[in-house]
Amino acid sequence: MTDELTISGVECRAHHGVFDFERRDGQPFVVDLTLGFDTRPAATSDDLADTVDYGSLVAAVKAAVERDPADLVETVAQRIADVCLTDRRVEWARVTLHKPEAPIEATFRDVALTITRTRGPADD
C-alpha cells in the first residue's frame, strides 16, 4: 500500500518542440505530479528527512524541464519521471506534462501527456 502526494501546476518555460520557432522562442509547459510512497515514517517522526522533500523535488523537476531542448513531450515526461524516481522511497510516479501553446491549427485548451512509471526490481 502506498500513499499519494500530488503537486499540480508547476510552471516552466522551455524550448521543446520539433519546429525551429519552438526551439528559438520557447513556450510554457506545466507539470502535474503524483508520487506513490509510504508516508508513515514521516508521520511518526515529524521529520522532513523521512519523507520526499517536495520543495527540492519541484526545483529538480523544473530544472529538468528547462534544460536541454527535446523534440517530443514524451522525452520530457520521461525525464521528469526519472527525476521523481531518484528518491528510493518513491515507488511510482505519474507525470502529466501540459503544452498549452502547442502549435496546432485549431482552437484548443491544452495538450497533455500523462505517463506512469514504477520502480523496477533492479532499482531497489
Cβ atoms of 58 and 30 within 8 Å: the answer is no
Note the pLDDT of residue 2: 87
Say whether 99 is catalytic: yes
The count of domains in the chain is 1
- Please tell me the pTM assigned to this model: 0.93
Note the pLDDT of residue 119: 86
The CATH number of residue 91's host domain is: 3.30.1130.10
Query: Which of these is catalytic: 16, 62, 98, 99?
Result: 99
Cell 508520487: give the residue.
35
Least confident range of 1-5, 59-63, 111-115: 1-5
Range of the domain at 32: 3-123
Among candidate residues 63, 51, 53, 45, the one with its CA nearest the CA of residue 3: 51
For residue range 76-102, list pLDDT tens digits in order. Answer: 999 999 999 999 999 999 999 999 999
Cβ atoms of 76 and 16 within 8 Å: the answer is yes
